[in-house]
Structure formats: C-alpha cells, structure tokens
Amino acid sequence: MELLKAGSALEPLHFSEIKKEMVEDYAKVSGDYNPIHLDQIAAQKVGFQSPIIHGMLSMGLAAQIVEPLLRVGYWVKQYETTFRAPVFTGEALTIHGTIANVENDLLTIDIIAKSSSNDRILTGNIILKKL
Amino acid sequence: MNFKQWEGTETAPVTISVTNELLNKYLKATNGLAADSQFVPPAFPMIFYQFIKVPWLEQQSFIHKEQVFSYEHPISLGDSLQCTVSLISLEKRRRFLVLHQELIGKNDGNQVVFSAKSILLKEAE
C-alpha cells in the first residue's frame, strides 16, 4: 500500500446500478419497509420522482471505500455522514475518498458520494484507528 | 402523533447478538465482502432498530438527514450488546419536525461499545 499521507486519494468505488433487489434486500435485513423506498406512488406522494434507496444503504456502500485499510490493521472509530440528496433506485453510485489527516494512530478520510443525477448525495468522514 | 411526549425518554434495553446469519444477510444486502475484516461494517448497528420497540417511530415515515457512528471498541461476530434508543430532542425547523435520537450498545460490563446518533426529518403535521 502506498504511503498514507494527507491529500492522497483512495481508489474510488463504483456501483453501476443500485438495483431494486438490493433495496428490497436491505429492507428485509433492516426491517425498514418505509414505502418511499419500495413503492412508486408512496415516493411520489412525498415529492420524489421515484423510490429512493435507504440512506443507511448508501452509507453502508460508501463505507466500503476504506476496506483496503481495514485489511492492513485499521478499524473504524467514527463514521459520520450528511445525506444531501436522494439516490433513486436504479442509479449508479460512485464514492471518492481523500485522506484528510494522519495523526499518530488515527487516519481521517473525507468521503463524497455522487449518483447518476447528483454530484453530492452524501458527504462525511471516516476516522480509522490502528489496531 | 404527539412526539413531545417521548422527548428525553429511552426505550427498554434489548439484548442483540451479532449472529453469522444476521451479518451475512447484511453483507449480501450491502454488497459487502465476507470475512475481509474481523469486525462488522460500521453502519451495521442500524439494523438493530428492528429488534427495539421505539414508540415514536411506529407507523411513521422519516427522511434520514445525518448519521454518526462512534465506536469505543469494534463489534465482532458473536458479540452480544444491550441496546437502547433515546429521543434526545426534537424541534420544528421551518415545515419540518427534526428528531435527534441515539442508539447505544453496551457490553456485558455495561460499557458503551458504540453509539449511533441520527437526525431524522418529517413534514410537521
């Protein structure tokens, strides 16, 4: 692995399509059957053009950008996100990560995720700690 | 619903075990890779909500605005955690009702393992 220094970019993560089946699977495992995630009419009733994926599904997907670091002895100390725009079922999702700070045994990664329709659907950071 | 009645309250504790079945279902749903890490993924504890009776969330539809997971220790397969959810505060912001709530998981020694703070929105009634 390359030297971890502030300003370095992590390998981006790309999901070409967040399929309806993924959203249904997440609903099943989480018990979150909010109809805005699963039903066209319910989504439109609250102002969305079509069903949106669970925020926690996008957060779960985005966290995978640090998996290479977890394999070399880091664990997640803190993970923080703001959901800035909805991701519609069927859209692509791309996650970018940049090392913001390296201090002793802590590594802070800034993350930003974009969908097919929006360049900033989620922003946040992940703080990793060395085991 | 009168959410104000729940402000400052905490749910009854529920013990939740991180089983192989639960973790594998989560990994499948989130396209995650099994066995790559000795610890569960950081957003995993949100699925604990389904095991906890949270009266202010019943029959309600919220939009997730912000989320923070903080870990004192990572969670591993086989861990059992005593979990509670508290409604820290609520406020009306323009046409939205904003809920600040926190899920906390403690170990057998009553030490906090993780907290998951959420900010949720819904249109005010």
Number of domains within chain B: 1
B101 vs B115: CA distance, rounded Å: 10
Tell me the pLDDT tens digit for each residue of A55-96.
999 999 999 999 999 989 999 999 999 999 999 999 999 999
Condensed to tens digits (0 to 9), the pLDDT of residues B53-112 reads 999 999 888 999 999 999 999 999 999 999 999 999 999 999 999 999 999 999 999 999
Q: Is A84 on the interface with B (CB under 8 A)?
A: no
CATH of the domain at B94: 3.10.129.10
Residue B100 belongs to domain spanning: 3-123
Look up residue B33 and give its two tokens.
């890779």
Using a CB-CB cut-off of 8 Å, the residues of chain A touching B66 are: 80-83
Would an 8 Å CB–CB cutoff place A43 in contact with chain B? no
Say if the Cβ atoms of A80 and B69 lie within 8 Å.
Answer: yes
Any chain A CB within 8 A of the CB of B76?
no
Asked whether A67 and A102 are in contact (CB, 8 A), the reply is no
pLDDT on residue B60: 87
Q: Which residues of B touch A75 (CB under 8 A)?
A: 37, 39, 71, 74
